[in-house]
Amino acid sequence: MARQTLKTTLKTTLTTTVLTSLCVSPVLAAEPNALRDDQAPISGERVSRVEVSSTSAVSEQGRRVYSAANLFDGHDWSAWGSTPANANGAWVRVGFDRVQYIDRLEYVPGDARTPTSFSQCGRPQRLRIETPNESRTVDLADRKWQQVVSLSPPIATNKLSLVFESHHGKGAQGGVCLSEIKLAGPKDPFTAIPGLRARIETSIAELADDGRAHRGQRELLRIGPPAVAQLIAALDVKNPNQAARVASLLGELGDERATEVLDGLTRHSAPAVRESALWSLGALGSAAHYDAIVKWYDASDGRSKDRAFDALARSGNVRALEIVIAALVGGHAERRLSAEANLGRFGQDGIFAVKPLLASSVKSEKVAALRALGTVDMPEARELLYSHLPAAIDSEERAAAIFALSTRGDAAAHTAIASLWDSRYLVERQAVAHALGQFADPGDRDLLELLAADLSMSVRQAAARSLARMGSEARPALQRLATRGPCGGTALAAAEGLFGPDASDEEVLQLLGSRHEEVRTRAGSVLAERGAAGEAILAAALVSPQDELRAAASKALGKIGARSVVAIIERTDRAPKESHADVLRLLTSFRHPLAADFSARLVRDGHDFIVRRMAVEAVAACADPQAATTALIGALGDSSVEVRLAAIVTIGERKLDGAIPALVTQLDGPQRAVVRSAIVALGQLKAAAAIEALTSLFHDKALPGSQDPGLREDVVAALGRIGGDRSLPLLMAAIGDEDVGVRYAAQDALE
């Protein structure tokens, strides 16, 4: 399916004179609703790219009627239209030079040039508005004039997708058509979005914490320009790491208001702050600071030198080209990647500088040059890349050309690239799988599913990631790969495409049952981040009869911690027996008192000895001493030796004095391990009330323990811990015992 990618600076050459010569009478559109006083138009200069799913080939007098450039040309007597076969599902993708706040979408439906053209083109009926972070759907009326879609709260994004799920009318000439798009946003985002200022303050504060800094940086980049003023004000913080992160963010946000204050930071006492300020000035293209950045580059090494190089590459200063080109052919991976990513900032000079590398006999130099050309949005760069697609060219070079053409979203290369999907060369198949994700054409879904079954794991993962870029159209395919994919890496790559903010709890729960542990773990983390609702779902999964589901839920709930106890306890009454062990394991780790009753009940009623033994440990961790004593005394009568042993050991370790009488009764039992554990526990408890029973066990020939030197040795050790005058007679007598172990134990006790 053909597709166009056009810079919006391209303006249509149609004029009123041309319209008159063609005898075309525009449909007079009604005056649109005026902008509110608190709204401002978003200039077309802010639109850096426009991509469309397809363009109708209709022409008049040899001239193509429809073009993506017509969408933002300011005229409603020019139009874009998809192919008739691409009516439902057609899309327009808009890229901005920075984050924009959009609360108004104004559009002219259909081809508004004439009544005839209007009737021959489809018009939007159901529109899905998507950003990387959210999705909204609106139903549109079928009218012949401008329509306005209000977006509340405003959308904050640097990438906007308009997906036309259905259309009005018949699309004989154009599947779905638009004659113009205009966007507007709030003049003051702080008024339009309650709490925005507080969000910025919170995120700036997170920059001071190494553990939370990444989250703060991500949120501030998502907020965009409104954060600049508060970031500038935050530069006087005393924490140098926080100041350095703030300085870097100002460069990433690309706001020239920060230039003056960044200049002051180049003289900061902290090296990290100075370097971050210089990096941002390079990213902002400050020619005045070029020499300072070069000096930094020459004097530094390691990570600092890499960052200085990145500042030079981002500057777009022609004086830096020699350094940038040298890095393209150098052995340093970090700088080579930066050089590839930023060559486009040098425009025609960059093409001229990289051309000699294309004639190099060194393959790695040619490959790096081709990849770098993908960032240069100029016809000459595309022609050079096209020349490296023929089959006679080396496969690695061809893969680099595929990668570069897809980076620029070059639709003219789409068909040629897709035809290479079954290449015998792995590197080409991987490049094709990646490229199809850049094109994001719904028609490539079947092809990507085939690539997702490739013998190579790298190809499979690239295909899964590309499917994830296709939005809701690819969700069924992603769901299949995520739950039943051929390997964990492929399944996880597919799952990441399903874990967006619009993913329902049911979808994530389904992935919690994936056959791949990587996906189950990630799904559990996603649910854990959803607060109480996610915790409730995980708690329900914890009592599932499916082993994998329980394990994934248990892992996620363990990361949440004790706050999930309530959600777990609420479901324990309906919990199947198979889940009890997982529930108890979690409750033991939380040490939460709310878990005590459930654990005590399972000490008594657990369906097998393993669960009852685990319940003993949970009671010890969660219950108060009195409740724990009651439950553990009950466990001393359990039919399982393992449960009784666990209870005895726990009583001794927790110093539960109330259980001493019950422990004494265990001394005349038939199981040696039980008797021995009871002796040790009584010693730990310093149970003076047990001295007579222990003495009897040592001397009374009728008791089985008195015939066992090992038990007699334990009795002596226990009496030594208990101490007191009542223990002395036995300890003194044991000094002369016939068993050497008993004698040594008595000596230790008396010392």
Q: Is the dihedral of CA 707, 713, 715, 719 positive or negative?
A: positive
Task: Answer yes or no: are the C-beta atoms of 254 and 223 closer than 8 Å.
Answer: no
Question: Are 72 and 169 part of one and the same domain?
Answer: yes
pLDDT tens digit sequence for 190-248: 988 989 999 999 999 999 998 889 999 999 999 999 999 999 999 888 899 999 999 99
Q: 436 and 337 in one domain?
A: no
- Asked which of 164, 189, 214 is the last residue of a domain, the reply is 189
Residue 674 lies in a domain: yes
* Same-domain check for residues 43 and 121: yes
pLDDT(611) > 80? no
Q: Are residues 329 and 272 in the same domain?
A: no
- Give me the pLDDT at residue 565, please: 64
More reliable by pLDDT, 349 or 628: 349
Residue pointed to by tokens 């810079």: 7
CATH of the domain at 346: 1.25.10
How many CB atoms sit inside 10 A of residue 532's CB? 11
Residue 670 lies in a domain: yes
Q: Looking at residue 334, what is its pLDDT?
A: 92
First to last CA, the chain: 92
Domain membership of residue 551 (yes or no) is no
- At 649 the pLDDT is 87
* Residue 612 located in a structural domain: no
- Domain-located, residue 113: yes
Residue 94 pairs with which residues in a beta bridge? Answer: 50, 160
* 431 shares a domain with 311: no
Residues 6+ apart with CB under 8 A from 190: 196, 197, 226
Q: What is the pLDDT of residues 113-160, one digit of tens each?
A: 877 778 888 899 999 998 888 889 999 998 888 889 999 899 999 999
Question: Is residue 409 in some structural domain?
Answer: yes
Amino acid at 149: V
The overall average pLDDT reported for the chain is 82
Residue 111 and residue 163 share a domain: yes
Torsion sign across C-alpha atoms 710, 711, 712, 717: positive
The residue type of 401 is A
The CATH number that applies at residue 462 is: 1.25.10.10
| Domain match, 101 and 64 both | yes
Final residue before a domain boundary, out of 189, 216, 245: 189
Least confident interval from 290-304, 646-660, 695-709: 695-709
Q: Residue 607 to residues 388, 466, 604, 614: CA-CA distances in angstroms?
A: 69, 49, 9, 12
More confident residue, 71 or 6: 71
Separation CA 413–CA 402 (nearest Å):
8
Q: Which pair of structure tokens corresponds to residue 189? A: 């985002």
44 and 133 belong to one structural domain: yes
pLDDT tens by residue, 393-409: 888 888 888 888 887 66
> 231 and 130: one domain?
no
Residue 713 lies in a domain: yes
CA distance 405 to 399: 10
Residues 105 and 172 in one domain: yes
Q: How far apart are CA 176 and CA 166, in angstroms?
A: 9
The residue-averaged pLDDT of 711-733 equals 83
Same domain flag for 92 and 55 = yes
Least-confidence region, from 122-136, 350-364, 420-434, 716-730 = 716-730
pLDDT band at 704 (very low <50, low <70, confident <90, very high): low
* Total domains in the fold of the chain: 5
Which structural domain, as residue segments, surrounds residue 296? 287-360
Check residues 705 and 257 and name the one with the higher pLDDT.
257
Q: Are 107 and 18 in contact (CB under 8 A)?
A: no
Whole-structure pTM value = 0.63
Average pLDDT over residues 311-337: 92
Q: Is residue 144 part of a domain?
A: yes
Residues 56 and 109 placed together within one structural domain of the fold: yes
